[in-house]
Each structure stands twice: as structure tokens, then as C-alpha cells.
Amino acid sequence: RLVSTLIAVVGVGFLVLIFLLCTLGNVAALLVAGGVFAFGAVHYLIWGWWLSRAVQRQDQERGKTP
């Protein structure tokens, strides 16, 4: 969990940097930031939330406690 937290913090910092560049008038940076944010959101939903819950359900069905 520590590694995933560090990656998330670095990712948020990257997005903040790109949004700051956008305030200087760089529209391409806004598009990149939007793409990175969308990728991160989809990645979180699929790998971080949905698959984690699927594994928990499988463990519960097998009688294992998390």
C-alpha cells in the first residue's frame, strides 16, 4: 500500500504541475492533464476497486478472512 500511495502522490503532483502550466496559456498541457487524469481514474476503478472487491468475494466464498 505504501508504494501505491507514493505513486498516487506523485501522480497528483504531476497533475498540479500541468494545471499550473495551463494557467500560463498552454492548452496542450490541459489536454495531457485531462488524459492522465482519465487514465488514472479508469485504472483506479478497474484495478484498485473492482478487482480488489472481486478477490475479497472469492476469499469470502472460500472461507478465508481478509
> What pLDDT score does 65 carry?
58
Q: What torsion do the CA atoms of 12, 15, 16, 19 make, to the nearest 10 degrees?
A: -160
Judged against a pLDDT cut of 60, whether residue 66 lies above it is answered with: no
Give the residue carrying C-alpha cell 496559456. Answer: 25
Distance from C-alpha of 58 to C-alpha of 5, rounded to nearest angstrom: 25
Where are the extended beta strands (E) located within the chain? none
pTM: 0.46
Distance from C-alpha of 63 to C-alpha of 56, rounded to nearest angstrom: 11
Judged against a pLDDT cut of 70, whether residue 49 lies above it is answered with: no
Domain segments of the chain as ranges = 2-62
